[in-house]
Structure 1
C-alpha cells in the first residue's frame, strides 16, 4: 500500500513484531526451478493469497535446537545478525514446512533424508495440532534437522503502523529426494509447483494474489535457470536489511 502510508508511529506504541520464518522450497524443472507455492486460508494473515510455507517461532524451538546439524548457534546468530536464538528461525522454518506441507528437512541416523510414510504423516498431524512437541517428535524418530540445507537470504519486517506485525527471515531449500508435498487442508487450502515467472504471470492476470515480499522474491529469481544459481544468489543477499521505499525525501519501510 505504497500510496496510503499513515503518519509516524512511535516504536513504543507499535504492536510487537513476532519472529517468524518462511522457506522457498525448490525442485528442478524442465526449463527453470519450480517453487512450492501454498494458498493460505481466508481469515489468516495473507489469507487467500499464495505464498511460501512458514510461520511464527514457538517456545519449543529452543529445545529442538540441539537436534539439528550443519550450523552452530554462534554461526546462526552471525548469519542472521542477531544477538541470540538465531537457530530458532531455522527450527521454525523446518517445523512449519513439515506441519504445513509434509516436507521434512531432517535426516535419519544413516544420513539419508527421512521418509514420509503413513506413520510420519500421522505424527505430522499431532505435531501440527500441538499434541506432540516438535522436539519430542524428532527425538522419538531419531531425526536431526538439516540446518545446512537452508540458505538464508533476507528478512522483512512489518511497518510500525500495522496492527499485526512480523519480523520474518526468508530461506531457500531444495525439495528432499523421495518426498512429496501435500498441503495440510487446514491452514493451507491449495498448493502448486510453479516456476517463478509463471507465478508472477498468474498474479498479474488476477488469477492468484501474492503478498508483496513473495512478489519481490519471485522477481529476484525469475530469470534463474537452476537451483544452484538461486543458492548462489541467496548467499550474496545475506546482508541484514529491510527493503525501503523512497517517498519524496524520506525512506519508508516497504510492505504490502
Structure 2
C-alpha cells in the first residue's frame, strides 16, 4: 500500500474507498460470445454516457450481521472459499457477492438464487415489485431474500478482477464477477440508470470504442479485451478460477496490457 494511502476498514476497500461490485453476464450468441452492457444516462454522477456492466456500490445492508449464519440466505460456494479467492474477509466477500447479485436484479431483472426446493429460479418476473423496492432502497436484498424464502447461489457467479480508482474525487474499490444467466430468465433495460442495454460481442464494443461510438472507462475496456480471448461461455467460466485478483490501481499507463487504451484517441462522434 502506498505510504499516503488510507487503511481499509471492515466496510471500505483500498485507500478507504467505497466497495463496489460489477457483474459481467455472458452468453453464447449465434456468432460467438456476447456480454450484457448498458449505456448510462447522461445525468448519472459517475461515468455519464458510458457503456458499463451492471453494478454499483455496496449497500451497508449487504454486510451480514456479526452473528449471521451464512447458510440461511446463501448456497453454493462458501463465503470462506469466496473470500480466499477475492483476498478479503468473509464478511466483505458476503457483502460484495450480495451487492453483485442485487445490482444485477435491480438493473437487469435477473436473480441468481435458489428456491426452497433447492432449484435455481427460472423466472424472476414475479418479483418485479420487490425489484422496484430494492432500486429505491426501501428494502434490502437481505429483507427480500428472507421474505421470499430464497437463497443466493454463489455458484452462479465467479470473481473475475479487482480495480481501484478515483472518480469525481471519490475512491472506489471494485470487484468484477462473471456469471451466466439461469435458464428461463431474461435480462431487460428497465432501469432509470440506463438509456439502453443489450447483448453485444466484446469485439464489437471495442470496435465501437475505437470508432468513437462507445465510451468506455479503463476497467470496462480491460474486461472486454480479456473476454475477446474466449469463444464460448464455457471457456470464460473455466478460466474464472484462474483469474488474477491482484488489485489494479488508478491508471497504469506504463503497463503494456493497457497501452492501446492510453494511446488511442477515438474520434468523438457521440
**TM-score band, normalised by the shorter chain?**
0.7 to 0.9
* Alpha carbons of structure 1 residues 79 and 120: separation in structure 2 relative to 1, 3 Å: same
1:174 aligns with 2:180: yes
1:62 aligns with 2:70: no
Between the aligned partners of 1:110 and 1:82, the Cα distance in structure 2 is 31
Q: Deviations over 1:33-64 (max 9, x none)?
A: 21000112223211110111011111221238
- CA contact 2:62–2:140 (8 Å) conserved in 1: no
Between the aligned partners of 1:41 and 1:149, the Cα distance in structure 2 is 28
Give 1:1-256 correspondences, 5 Å limit: 10-12=4-6, 16-42=16-42, 43-63=44-64, 66-85=72-91, 86-116=93-123, 118-158=125-165, 163-242=169-248, 244-246=252-254
- CA contact 1:34–1:194 (8 Å) conserved in 2: yes
Between the aligned partners of 1:125 and 1:39, the Cα distance in structure 2 is 20
- CA contact 2:98–2:141 (8 Å) conserved in 1: no
How far the C-alpha of 1:117 sits from its partner, in A, is 5.5
- CA contact 2:106–2:132 (8 Å) conserved in 1: yes
Q: How many residues align?
A: 240
Q: Deviations over 1:179-227 (max 9, x none)?
A: 1111233122210100111111111111221111111111111131111
Between the aligned partners of 1:169 and 1:181, the Cα distance in structure 2 is 21
Extract structure 1 runs of 4+ deviating beyond 4 A: 12-15
Any idea what SS the aligned residue of 1:246 has?
A: coil
Any idea what SS the aligned residue of 1:90 has?
A: helix
Q: Deviations over 1:145-171 (max 9, x none)?
A: 111111112100015x96121100111
TM-score using structure 2 length: 0.81
Any idea what SS the aligned residue of 2:208 has?
A: helix
Q: Name structure 2 gaps, 5 residues minimum.
A: 8-13, 256-261, 263-270
Q: Name structure 1 gaps, 5 residues minimum.
A: 1-7, 248-253
TM-score using structure 1 length: 0.85
RMSD (Å), alpha carbons: 2.5
